[in-house]
Amino acid sequence: MVRLKRSILWACLIAIAVLAVLSVYGAFLGADRAQAFFNSVPVVIYWGAFGVLLAAGIAVLRRLSWVPSLLLMHLGCILILAGGMWGSPLGQDLQKRFFGTERIRKGQMPVLEGTAENRVMVADSNDTQELPFSIRLRDFRIEYYEPGDLYIQSRNGRRWKLPAEAGRTQALGENLGTVTIQRAFRNFKMDVSGDERIAYDAPGGLNPALEVMIQKPDGTTARRYVFLHRAGHGNPNDPLVMSYEQSPRDYVSELEVVRDNQVVASKDIEVNHPLHHGGYHFYQHSYGQNQMGEYTILMVVSDAGLNIVYTGYAMLIVGVFWHFWGRRLWPTLRSRQAACAPVGVSGEVPNGTG
Amino acid sequence: MAIKYTFQGLLIYMAMAAFLSAFLATVAGRRKAGQWLFMAGFCASLLAYVYRWIDVRHVPLQNLFEVFLCLGMVCYPISVVGRRVLRIGGQWADMLIAAIVLFPAGFKFHAEPQHLPPALQSWLFVPHVGVYTLSYIFMAMAAFRAAVHLCTAKRAAVVDAILPPEQATYTLIAIGFPLLTLGLILGSIWGKRAWGDYWGWDPKELWSLASWLVYVGYFHWRHMFGTQYARINSLWAIAGMAAIVITLLWVNLSRLFPGVHSYAT
Ligand code: HEM
């Protein structure tokens, strides 16, 4: 028995070390190849063996099942492994073969504004599969941080950034002069009559631009218009390159779930706020525009195994804090309060402590 | 290497100077002065952190500059907990760690405020990075005690009131490990909400898993052998810290591992 226990402990140590080494190896592969690697048959066998080892440990090593904190964290690890394997490509394949469950593991779904869609382009294949319900896109929009920034770059590579608001000024040093933002347009328009050009903000529409005045060191001035997200066609002899940028604050898709012509759910999704419906999560993934209009690209991910993994997480966290903080830090703090004197934390060798 | 000629920079350099002087005073035997300087450094770094917070209007943990600023700030409180509650000695190491982690914030990383990209706008952002920050300092303090143990194993004087270095290492890791675990799991849950997968096999994720596993290995090794091979225990602790440093820095700085965490530079 002692030998069996010893062997399990050694096997466990080796299993942990092997996983650490594999993780480092995987880091050199990059995410896509690492994913394929960790789902390859030899590694899947390793995952299974790890789970069995944990279970054997709990069965054979008495303290693992008797000390609740230890039990929680080791059981938690088993659940995380099990949930991960249940939701993995291989796990889903096996479920399809044995239980006939037809589930999309992961895929992308472009939805045109104003239309409903239930076809999903399945990841890692050329297949299209249908969901038992449709997703309608009411509206897609990008929200930006206001007011944006004007970037100025000199030919020798110096860069300045200033908020894109009228009245802002930036001195660029002796050789380059000073830049002032004179006006900020929401919808820039220009009327040309003869030699005269008049820039103005037209109602409606969207064509953000900045009017910039450059005061050169020799006393002359020059006026420039810089348009949002459009690189200017600068004269190559011009000493300054300018661009007007706004960073996105949010990508929002207003979605409705439609079953049998009835809207059964709706949610405005953003990055970090997916829609959860019918065993799938829908994520804001990308967007685009074609001749039919604007569209959003949703990522569709099955939530198979997710609850098992999250339960495992909860057990692991509770177990670890209970084991190390609850049994060490807490009694120490309490006895300190009682006696107002430092009392030992069990830093001694944990063999048989408990 | 770039010097920051700003108020923010000045505060960071003052904190670094105080931490370094605290270290020198302590090793020179002026413990009381060392403590005062340590606290002064903490006040300066706290001020720098609060200043940054007001400046960027979100909890400053978004890029490596802010993370290192935070790392420098939490050293003092963690050291005090270590000394008062956990009976950990060798505070000179904590002062040195504080000065070291502020160095990249002061001289290496750019402090230009950036807008928070959509992926970082999550309630999980602050707990995930914050918890990691705390755990990293615990692990760094543990690694220093482990190094001290390796260097002085034979002639360590046993002082009753404080734990010997090997046990101090264990205690610090035992307190830091739950935080490390929580950081990993919060990151995973965040990944699920932001990108659709609770585990994306991204290089940074894999390095953080590897670091975590080194500590799991440490616990099991120490369970099996106790202090029979005490030096190997200390080597585990140092290996864990090495993995953490790689997780935190190398993945961001080198272009070796492209991945979703690259924005965090
Ligand atoms: C692979 C199979 C595993 C086996 C057979 C195993 C077995 C054990 C045993 C026998 C102990 C000692 C309990 C005691 O204090 O008496 C232990 C402790 C521990 N195990 Fe595992 N374990 C395994 C995997 C894991 C994994 C994957 C984790 C990750 C969370 C883990 C985390 C821990 C922790 C944190 C301790 C506490 C150590 C301490 O109190 O110093 N173990 N394990």
Structure tokens at A30: 């990059």
Range of the domain at A78: 2-97+306-329
Taking alpha carbons only, the member of A64, A325, A319 closest to residue B172 is A325
Taking alpha carbons only, the member of A144, A164, A142, A140 closest to residue A152 is A164
Q: Is the residue at A80 inside a domain?
A: yes
With contact defined as beta carbons under 8 Å apart, do B196 and A299 qualify? Answer: yes
B116 vs A214, A250, B261, CA distance in Å? 31, 10, 14
Asked if residue B97 and residue B122 are part of one domain, the reply reads: no
Complete DSSP assignment for A139-205: EEEEEE-SS-EEEEEETTS-EEEEES-TT-EEE--TTT-EEEEEEEESBEEEEEETTEEEEEE-SSS
Structure tokens at A178: 């000073």
With an 8 Å Cβ cutoff, is B245 touching chain A? no
Structure tokens at A221: 């001035």
* pLDDT score at B153: 59
The pLDDT tens digits of the residues spanning A215-234 come to 988 888 888 899 987 766 56
Chosen domain end from A208, A223, A246: A246
Question: Looking at the 3D structure of chain B, how many domains does it have?
Answer: 2
User: pLDDT class for B124, splitting at 50, 70, 90?
Assistant: very high
A 118-147: CB under 8 A from B: 145
* pLDDT score at B143: 97
Please tell me the distance between residue B156's alpha carbon and the centre of ligand 1 in angstroms: 30
Average pLDDT over residues A111-119: 93
Range of the domain at B229: 118-265
With an 8 Å Cβ cutoff, is B110 touching chain A? no
Residue B254 has pLDDT above 60, yes or no: no
The pLDDT tens digits of the residues spanning A166-201 come to 889 998 888 888 999 999 998 899 888 888 888 898
Taking alpha carbons only, the member of B83, B79, B75, B17 closest to residue B49 is B75
B55 vs A144, B59, B110, CA distance in Å? 20, 10, 15
Structure tokens at B65: 């500059």
Taking alpha carbons only, the member of A312, A318, A314, A324 closest to residue A51 is A312
Residue B113 has pLDDT above 90, yes or no: no
Comparing CB atoms, the residue among B210, B222, B259 nearest residue A31 is B259
With contact defined as beta carbons under 8 Å apart, do A75 and A322 qualify? Answer: no
Asked if residue B201 and residue B94 are part of one domain, the reply reads: no
Taking alpha carbons only, the member of A164, A159, A11 closest to residue B224 is A11
Contact B256 A321 (CB under 8 A): no
Asked if residue B94 and residue B16 are part of one domain, the reply reads: yes
Asked if residue B140 and residue B264 are part of one domain, the reply reads: yes
Q: Is the residue at A353 inside a domain?
A: no
Structure tokens at B118: 């959509």
Please tell me the distance between residue A74's alpha carbon and the centre of ligand 1 in angstroms: 7
Please tell me the distance between residue B169's alpha carbon and the centre of ligand 1 in angstroms: 18
User: pLDDT class for B116, splitting at 50, 70, 90?
Assistant: confident
H helix runs in chain B, sequence order: 7-27, 31-56, 64-84, 91-103, 125-152, 165-195, 203-225, 230-245, 251-253
* pLDDT score at B155: 58
Asked if residue B238 and residue B135 are part of one domain, the reply reads: yes
Residue B156 has pLDDT above 60, yes or no: no
Asked if residue B221 and residue B97 are part of one domain, the reply reads: no
Chosen domain end from B67, B92, B115: B115
Percent above pLDDT 90 for chain A: 57
Chosen domain end from A246, A264, A292: A246
Contact B163 A23 (CB under 8 A): no
With contact defined as beta carbons under 8 Å apart, do A74 and A316 qualify? Answer: no
Chain A: closest CA distance from residue B174 (Å) = 6
Chosen domain end from B85, B115, B145: B115
Structure tokens at B6: 């700003």
User: pLDDT class for B159, splitting at 50, 70, 90?
Assistant: low
B257 vs A22, A28, A73, B200, CA distance in Å? 15, 6, 31, 13
Q: Is the residue at A30 inside a domain?
A: yes
Please tell me the distance between residue B66's alpha carbon and the centre of ligand 1 in angstroms: 35
Name the 3-class secondary structure at A226.
strand
Asked if residue B135 and residue B9 are part of one domain, the reply reads: no
Asked if residue B23 and residue B95 are part of one domain, the reply reads: yes
Chosen domain end from B65, B80, B115: B115
A 226-285: CB under 8 A from B: 247-251, 270-274, 281, 283, 285
Residue with CA closest to ligand 1 atom 5: A57
Interface test mutation site (partner A, options B206, B207, B224, B257, max chain A beta carbons within 10 A): B206
Asked if residue A207 and residue A176 are part of one domain, the reply reads: yes
Asked if residue A30 and residue A61 are part of one domain, the reply reads: yes
Write out residues with Cβ below 6 Å of ligand 1: A 8-9, 12, 15, 50, 53-54, 57, 61, 63-64, 70, 73-74, 77, 323, 350; B 216, 219-220, 223
With an 8 Å Cβ cutoff, is B119 touching chain A? yes
* Cβ pairs A/B, distance under 8 A: 161
Asked if residue B91 and residue B128 are part of one domain, the reply reads: no
C-alpha A93/C-alpha A104 separation (Å) is 10
The pLDDT tens digits of the residues spanning B87-100 come to 999 999 999 999 99
More confident residue, A126 or A9: A9
Per CB-CB distance under 8 Å, the chain B contacts of A31 are 200-203, 259-260
Asked if residue B154 and residue B177 are part of one domain, the reply reads: yes
Structure tokens at B253: 């700085």
The region of weakest confidence among A25-34, A138-147, A256-265, B247-256 is B247-256
Asked if residue B86 and residue B216 are part of one domain, the reply reads: no
Asked if residue A257 and residue A317 are part of one domain, the reply reads: no
With contact defined as beta carbons under 8 Å apart, do A135 and A298 qualify? Answer: yes
Q: Is the residue at A337 inside a domain?
A: no
User: pLDDT class for B264, splitting at 50, 70, 90?
Assistant: very low
Phi-psi bin for A259: left (phi > 0), alpha (psi -120 to 50), beta? Answer: beta
C-alpha A30/C-alpha B206 separation (Å) is 10
Structure tokens at A117: 């869609």
Strand A106-112 to A116-122 pairing? antiparallel
Asked if residue A81 and residue A8 are part of one domain, the reply reads: yes
Q: Is the residue at A268 inside a domain?
A: yes
The region of weakest confidence among A151-160, A300-309, B18-27, B226-235 is A151-160
Chain A: closest CA distance from residue B54 (Å) = 18
Asked if residue A254 and residue A137 are part of one domain, the reply reads: yes
The region of weakest confidence among A19-23, A232-236, A258-262, A327-331 is A232-236
User: pLDDT class for A347, splitting at 50, 70, 90?
Assistant: very low
Longest dimension (CA), chain B: 55
* pLDDT score at B261: 54
The one-character DSSP state at B58 is S
Average pLDDT over residues A275-284: 94
Asked if residue B251 and residue B129 are part of one domain, the reply reads: yes
* pLDDT score at A64: 93
Q: Which amino acid is at A149?
A: D
Question: Looking at the 3D structure of chain A, how many domains does it have?
Answer: 3
Contact B85 A342 (CB under 8 A): yes
Residue A293 has pLDDT above 50, yes or no: yes
With an 8 Å Cβ cutoff, is A330 touching chain B? no
Asked if residue A216 and residue A89 are part of one domain, the reply reads: no
Asked if residue A262 and residue A229 are part of one domain, the reply reads: no
Please tell me the distance between residue A87's alpha carbon and the centre of ligand 1 in angstroms: 25
With contact defined as beta carbons under 8 Å apart, do A179 and A169 qualify? Answer: yes
Phi-psi bin for A307: left (phi > 0), alpha (psi -120 to 50), beta? Answer: alpha
More confident residue, B119 or B231: B231
B 214-233: CB under 8 A from A: 214, 216-217, 220-224, 226-227
